[in-house]
Every structure is written in C-alpha cells, then in structure tokens.
Amino acid sequence: MTEVAAGTRVVPTIAELRALLDERRAAGASVALVPTMGALHDGHLALVARARDLADVVVVSIFVNPLQFGPGEDLDRYPRTLDADVAALEGLGVEFVFAPTAAEMYPHGEVGTKVTAGRVGSLYEGASRPGHFDGMLTVVAKLLNVARPDIAVFGQKDAQQVFLVRRMVRDLDVATTIAVVPTVREADGLALSSRNRYLDPAHRDAALTLSEALRAADAAAPDGLAEVLAEGAAAFGDHDEVTLDYLVVVDPETFLPVADEARGDAVVLVAARVGATRLIDNATITLG
C-alpha cells in the first residue's frame, strides 16, 4: 500500500482494500465506490464529487479490464496514467485508490464464471463489441463484492452500461445503491471521454457531430420517432471523417427500441467512428 499526499492511499490488492474498508465501516463510515479504467478527466472527477457528497469514504478503482475488450480493440493502447490519475484525485476527498493488476483481479487467468448481460447486452454497443458487457458486468460484480460499497457512482454518458449495472444489482439483490451523474461536456457540447485524447484537432471538430445529432434528434422529438431518426442521422451526412455506427431510440425502462408510435421519455443512443477513434453519446428526449 502506497501513501500519497492529501491522505489518499493507492491500494494494489483485494485483501488490503477489504481490511481498510472493514476498519472504516467498523467506525461507522459509509462507503462510495467510483469504478473507472483510469485516464481520468473532469467527467470522472464529477463522479468523485458526487461520491464525496453521498458517503464518508470514497474509493476510486482504476483497472483496465481485459474482459471487456474484444479482438482488435484498443486494450494495449488504452491510456494508463496512474500517477497522473492519483495526482488528480489528491485533495478531492478520495481516501483509497484501488489499482489492482490483472493478475490480482483474475489470479487463475481465464475466468470460468461470468455475469451475462442478456439480450440488451447484445444490442447497440454489444452488437459492435461482442462480449463487452459481459466483461463489464463481471468486473463490476467483482468490484462490488470486494469493496461492498453502500453506493456506486456511474456516469450517464455510458447509458447502456448504467442500465445493465442497475439491472444486475436489482436481479442479484446486491446491497449497493447505484447513483448516476449527468454527462459532463466541453463548452461546445463534446462529451468528455478518455478516448478524446486520441483525436487530432480536425477530428476533434468532427467529433462534435455526435452531440449535433443528439440536438437535432431532440428538436425533432415532437414530430415522432421517424423524424428523430431521420434528423439525427442527417447530421452525419456532411462529415467524411465520421462514420455512423448506430443511432437508435430506446425505452429507458427496458432499453429496447421504442415502437413507431411511442410517446413520452426515451433515450437516443449514438455511436460513431471519428477517424480511428470510436465515440458514444446519448440524450434523453420526449417523443410526441
């Protein structure tokens, strides 16, 4: 266990983290967990701020989970910036940074037991990244078992992930409350993402197409689903460097596509490749 400034401790093992949290719980403290893969930005720090408001002890996990990367994805080049991440967390009320290795989390190598994400896990991001959500749910389940937090905090930018984590916690009777923080954006509307650092200036400008598509979809929402889909997709028409993967409107209660005649609250999900970088975004709209 390594101690850094402002009382933050980097904890590399499950056994150490459990012992530290048991000690804090025995003194009556509540615990909030913020699961991350590192490469922290202001969006992550907003999650930390929310966790600090909700609990006495804040744990930020930093672990690039190999189970949620498929063949040909960016596992090897995914940014690993632990020192900078810990420096960003100093002074923010984070008591522990849990930073295990893959060998610590998966000591037997191949994982024999996984959480499956079901039908919703095979749609949208799951269709583009087969197995991604099974890997995500498996590591989140492990983190919840290790830290046993009262509250776990996630960001709305990963809307499908939030839906699946909430459903897992409900279905498996996990004694953790899931708190969700709205998407944090740049002043021009770009959703913050660890992958934004891959964008050169031209691709950074092109990436605004995702938020533009969401605004167009929202403006068309009073006219119904067909107009939402048409106007959202049209935003991608003039950008050769941006390739739309999907734009879909889902029911927030089921995360399945809404019916043609749907009215009321819905979530627009969009994913696109900007140059070599894949980005996602979403927004809540009101149809009809």
Instruction: Give catalytic residues, as residue numbers.
Output: 44
The arrangement of strands across the sheet holding 2-3 comes to: 2-3, 9-11, 94-98, 57-62, 31-36, 151-155, 177-181
Secondary structure of residue 8 in the 3-state scheme: coil
Beta bridge mates, 3:
9
Phi, psi of 45, deg, nearest 5: -65, -30
Half-sphere exposure of 81 (CA within 13 A, CB side): 16
Tokens of 283: 């927004």
Q: What does R_g of the chain's alpha carbons equal in angstroms?
A: 19
Using the structure block, give the residue that is written with the tokens 């609990």. 55
Q: Which residues contact 168 (CB under 8 A, 6 or more apart)?
A: 115, 137, 140, 141, 174
Using the structure block, give the residue that is written with the tokens 């913050």. 192
Question: How far apart (Å, rounded) are the C-alpha atoms in residues 108 and 100?
Answer: 15
61: part of which helix (H) or strand (E)? Answer: strand 57-62
Please count the helices (runs of H) and the strands (runs of E) in the chain.
10, 10
Q: Which residues contact 83 (CB under 8 A, 6 or more apart)?
A: none
Angstrom distances, CA of residue 157 to CA of 2, 162, 179, 183:
32, 9, 13, 5
Phi, psi of 48, deg, nearest 5: -65, -45
